[in-house]
Amino acid sequence: MAAGAGSTHWVIPDGYIPEKSAGELTSHESVCVLNTGFEDAQLVFTIYFEDREPLESIGVIVPGRRTKHIRTSSLVKDGETITAGVPYAIEIESDVPVIVQYSRLDATQAENALMSTMAYPVKGG
Protein backbone atom coordinates (compact mmCIF):
# COMPACT_ATOMS: atom_id res chain seq x y z
CA MET A 1 0.00 0.00 0.00
CA ALA A 2 1.20 3.49 -0.78
CA ALA A 3 -0.43 5.38 2.11
CA GLY A 4 1.06 4.58 5.48
CA ALA A 5 -0.82 3.40 8.57
CA GLY A 6 -1.59 5.37 11.71
CA SER A 7 -2.45 8.96 12.64
CA THR A 8 -0.97 12.37 11.84
CA HIS A 9 -1.25 13.73 15.38
CA TRP A 10 0.15 12.13 18.55
CA VAL A 11 0.56 13.17 22.19
CA ILE A 12 2.77 11.94 25.06
CA PRO A 13 1.92 13.74 28.34
CA ASP A 14 4.63 12.17 30.53
CA GLY A 15 7.99 13.39 29.29
CA TYR A 16 10.94 13.37 31.69
CA ILE A 17 14.67 12.99 31.06
CA PRO A 18 16.26 11.42 34.17
CA GLU A 19 19.22 13.43 35.47
CA LYS A 20 21.45 10.52 36.40
CA SER A 21 22.88 7.31 35.01
CA ALA A 22 24.47 4.92 37.49
CA GLY A 23 24.56 1.58 35.65
CA GLU A 24 25.95 0.23 32.43
CA LEU A 25 23.21 1.91 30.40
CA THR A 26 22.45 5.63 30.03
CA SER A 27 19.08 7.01 31.13
CA HIS A 28 17.13 8.15 28.10
CA GLU A 29 13.74 8.48 26.45
CA SER A 30 12.91 7.29 22.95
CA VAL A 31 10.08 8.49 20.74
CA CYS A 32 9.82 5.56 18.32
CA VAL A 33 8.16 6.36 15.00
CA LEU A 34 7.23 3.96 12.21
CA ASN A 35 6.47 5.21 8.71
CA THR A 36 4.92 2.30 6.79
CA GLY A 37 4.27 4.46 3.71
CA PHE A 38 6.67 5.07 0.82
CA GLU A 39 7.11 8.84 1.20
CA ASP A 40 9.09 10.73 3.84
CA ALA A 41 7.16 11.79 6.95
CA GLN A 42 7.83 15.37 8.02
CA LEU A 43 7.32 15.49 11.79
CA VAL A 44 6.92 18.66 13.84
CA PHE A 45 7.45 18.40 17.61
CA THR A 46 5.99 20.80 20.20
CA ILE A 47 7.40 20.52 23.74
CA TYR A 48 5.10 21.71 26.58
CA PHE A 49 6.25 22.64 30.08
CA GLU A 50 4.61 23.28 33.46
CA ASP A 51 5.65 26.88 33.89
CA ARG A 52 6.67 28.44 30.60
CA GLU A 53 5.77 28.77 26.92
CA PRO A 54 6.13 25.71 24.66
CA LEU A 55 9.16 25.04 22.50
CA GLU A 56 7.68 24.86 19.00
CA SER A 57 8.42 23.74 15.45
CA ILE A 58 11.19 21.19 15.97
CA GLY A 59 11.41 19.25 12.70
CA VAL A 60 12.37 15.59 12.23
CA ILE A 61 12.17 13.48 9.04
CA VAL A 62 11.35 9.75 9.01
CA PRO A 63 11.99 8.24 5.57
CA GLY A 64 9.40 5.98 3.90
CA ARG A 65 9.42 2.30 4.93
CA ARG A 66 11.71 3.12 7.86
CA THR A 67 11.52 3.46 11.64
CA LYS A 68 13.31 6.11 13.67
CA HIS A 69 13.93 5.85 17.42
CA ILE A 70 14.39 9.50 18.40
CA ARG A 71 16.14 10.36 21.68
CA THR A 72 14.38 13.37 23.18
CA SER A 73 17.71 14.74 24.33
CA SER A 74 18.62 15.12 20.63
CA LEU A 75 15.73 17.52 19.91
CA VAL A 76 17.08 21.05 19.40
CA LYS A 77 15.34 24.37 18.62
CA ASP A 78 17.60 27.37 17.98
CA GLY A 79 20.25 25.79 20.17
CA GLU A 80 17.77 25.08 22.99
CA THR A 81 17.28 21.50 24.23
CA ILE A 82 14.97 19.89 26.82
CA THR A 83 16.39 20.27 30.32
CA ALA A 84 16.90 17.02 32.25
CA GLY A 85 14.95 16.60 35.49
CA VAL A 86 12.02 18.75 34.36
CA PRO A 87 8.46 17.42 33.73
CA TYR A 88 7.29 18.12 30.19
CA ALA A 89 4.97 16.79 27.46
CA ILE A 90 5.35 16.03 23.75
CA GLU A 91 3.02 16.73 20.79
CA ILE A 92 3.90 15.39 17.35
CA GLU A 93 2.25 16.37 14.06
CA SER A 94 3.11 14.63 10.79
CA ASP A 95 2.18 15.36 7.19
CA VAL A 96 1.49 11.65 6.56
CA PRO A 97 0.18 8.93 8.90
CA VAL A 98 2.74 7.34 11.24
CA ILE A 99 2.63 5.29 14.45
CA VAL A 100 4.33 6.54 17.64
CA GLN A 101 5.43 4.71 20.81
CA TYR A 102 7.20 6.25 23.81
CA SER A 103 9.69 4.43 26.05
CA ARG A 104 11.91 5.50 28.95
CA LEU A 105 14.95 3.82 30.45
CA ASP A 106 15.73 5.12 33.91
CA ALA A 107 19.22 4.18 35.11
CA THR A 108 19.26 6.50 38.15
CA GLN A 109 20.03 3.40 40.17
CA ALA A 110 22.56 0.87 38.87
CA GLU A 111 19.78 -1.54 37.94
CA ASN A 112 17.66 -0.03 35.21
CA ALA A 113 13.89 0.51 35.03
CA LEU A 114 11.84 0.57 31.83
CA MET A 115 8.43 1.90 30.86
CA SER A 116 6.63 2.12 27.52
CA THR A 117 3.27 3.09 26.07
CA MET A 118 1.77 3.88 22.71
CA ALA A 119 1.43 7.63 22.28
CA TYR A 120 -2.16 8.94 22.22
CA PRO A 121 -3.48 9.24 18.65
CA VAL A 122 -5.63 12.36 18.39
CA LYS A 123 -8.77 11.42 16.42
CA GLY A 124 -9.30 13.28 13.20
CA GLY A 125 -5.96 14.97 13.79
Closer residue to its own copies in complex, CB, 42/69: 69
* Rounded distance between C-alpha atoms, residue 29 and residue 5, angstroms: 24
**Nearest to 45, CA basis, from 55, 34, 35, 33:** 55
Q: Residue 58 interacts with its own copies (CB under 8 A)?
A: no
Among 21, 73, 81, 108, binds its own copies (CB under 8 A): 108
Q: Other C-beta atoms within 10 Å of 11: how many? A: 17
Q: How far is the CB of 65 from its own copies (least distance, A)?
A: 6
Among positions 13-42, residues that touch its own copies (CB under 8 A) are 13-16, 23-25, 30, 32-34, 36
Q: How far is the CB of 98 from its own copies (least distance, A)?
A: 8
Q: Does 80 bind its own copies (CB under 8 A)?
A: no
Q: Per CB under 8 A, does 81 bind its own copies?
A: no
- Assess 111 for contact with its own copies (CB under 8 A): yes
**Which residues are at the interface with its own copies (CB under 8 A)?**
5-6, 9, 11-16, 23-25, 30, 32-34, 36, 48-51, 53-54, 65-69, 87-89, 91, 99-101, 103-106, 108-122, 125
